[in-house]
Amino acid sequence: MDKELYDLKNWAIETLKEYKAELLITKQVTGKAPSALKKADRFLNALAVDTSGTYADMIDDARRKGISQKEFANMGRNLEERIMNSFRVLPDDPAHHMYSLRTAGDLIQNVEPGVREMGLQILKDEGYILGNVRQNLTSLAEATHQGRTGKGAELAALGEISVDKTQTAIAHPRGTGDPLISRTIDYKNIKTPEDFANAYRPLLEQQSADLAGALKTEAPRRKIITEFVEEQGGPKDIFSTNVPAPEVKRGRDIIKQAPGVMQRAYRAMPIIQNGSFRLSFGLDKAVDTIKRNISGAVAGAATVIEPEAVKAALQGDYTEAAKQTFVGAGFGALAEQGIKQAAPVVTRTAASVLPKAAVSMIGAAAKFVPVLAGGYAGYQMLDAIVEGATGKDLQETGVAAEEKKEELREQGYSEYELRRRARTGYRKP
């Protein structure tokens, strides 16, 4: 780093540290952290670890104009957001820092500047490129980023989820505030560039291992997206950190026009949810999961409209349920077909004679499938639940129900008593 950039960076760091100190005083006085504190702290770390001159023009402009510390912090945070957004491959993906800006906590802010810069150079020579730069940013699904519900196309494809982090590899298995990574290392113990690099290295290695696991979970999604974008004449290997922002945008514009492909890609990821079954994660494990949690299996299959999987699970054919869930009718196919109305009287009749276990399954499915109450997909799912629970399909069950009612009428049951029997299992004395 040349002397001019070195001086510029040190001026910016000291300016931000002064602003942070004021915000910390406000926190002590009011007992509440100002919203600006977290933003300023984040930008301070992003700036301090940067060795690429990412913020040089902005810093120079801010110093010449004499803007306030608050304005300067906001400028930096806004630039950071623009950089991150430019490398999101799918529009709803979070841009993940492969090496967190909060690595080693506040160490980077307080260590002696010369030690900091030479220590960063040692790490850079080893392949660790830090900061808010292209080589440190990758595009992940929210499910593989923090193991939580995503937005937009991801939400449409997966619904609300809670990833089982013990069985699904994600980028932040211990959370974004992971103390293993972000705990502050006392700068007083860092005397040399080698001390600095040695303090950082194990934390970076841990993050590399976490990301490697997440990328295995991501692999099916990335394969589908990458191949589609290339087939449409877009950039090759769009998830690569070598692809510049304009090319990422070109690929993103292509994939935005193919929501069906996006949803298929999201659903291809091997994700296991807490307490339920979700998509393809190895047949043996899927079968075991279904055996341990029938209701979760049915609800999980319902999230992607899998009637055959529901039927098989209820009938005890766990392997078939797993296979069918791999196949997947999915929301994309449903949207293409349109929603065809089912015969509501058959649905009501069948629902009135289901055993309680099947009724609870309908409730579980309804929680995940909004169209269950009326459309063709809902009829198909209900039919699967009925057949799985009774051995007869929806229409057969409805016919049998009417025949049973007629038999009971002949035995002297009133209409009220028939309704009471349907609700409670009542039997005439």
Confidence of residue 289 (pLDDT cuts 50, 70, 90): very low
- In whole angstroms, give the CA distance from residue 375 to residue 214: 37
Q: Which two tokens stand for residue 364?
A: 């579980």
Q: How far is CA 328 from the centre of its chain?
A: 20
> So what's the pLDDT on residue 45?
95
**Burial class of residue 102, CB neighbours in 10 A (0-12, 13-18, 19+):** buried
3-state secondary structure at position 175: coil
DSSP 93: P
pLDDT at 287 over 70: no
Are residues 261 and 228 in contact, defined by beta-carbon separation less than 8 angstroms? yes
Confidence of residue 406 (pLDDT cuts 50, 70, 90): confident
pLDDT at 348 over 80: no
Confidence of residue 265 (pLDDT cuts 50, 70, 90): very high
Q: Which residue from 295, 377, 376, 285 is spatially nearest to 328, judged by alpha carbons? A: 377
pLDDT at 253 over 50: yes
pLDDT mean across residues, the chain: 77
- In whole angstroms, give the CA distance from residue 102 to residue 139: 19
Average pLDDT for residues 309-327, to the nearest whole number?
Answer: 44
> So what's the pLDDT on residue 400?
55
Q: Report pLDDT digits (tens) over 43-85.
A: 999 999 999 999 999 999 999 999 999 999 999 999 999 999 9
Beta strand extents in 122-184 (DSSP E only): 137-139
- In whole angstroms, give the CA distance from residue 48 to residue 81: 17
DSSP string computed for 332-354: HHHHHH-PPPP-HHHHHHHHHT-
pLDDT at 375 over 70: no
pLDDT-above-90 percentage for the chain = 55
Task: Using alpha carbons, list the distances in angstroms from residue 59 to 17, 152, 302, 377.
Answer: 15, 35, 53, 57
> So what's the pLDDT on residue 345?
31
- In whole angstroms, give the CA distance from residue 149 to residue 164: 12
pTM, entire model: 0.65
The least confident of 159-173, 212-226, 277-291 is 277-291
**Highest mean pLDDT: which range of 111-125, 301-315, 372-386:** 111-125
* Side-chain-facing half-sphere of 145: CA atoms under 13 Å: 22
Q: Which residue has the tokens 């799985």?
A: 388
Query: Which phi-psi region, left, alpha or beta, contains residue 130 (left: φ > 0; alpha: ψ -120 to 50)?
Result: beta
pLDDT at 209 over 60: yes
pLDDT at 130 over 90: yes
> So what's the pLDDT on residue 403?
67
Query: Which phi-psi region, left, alpha or beta, contains residue 279 (left: φ > 0; alpha: ψ -120 to 50)?
Result: left
> So what's the pLDDT on residue 392?
56
Q: Which two tokens stand for residue 36?
A: 């600006």
Who has greater pLDDT, 275 or 265?
265
- In whole angstroms, give the CA distance from residue 191 to residue 175: 31
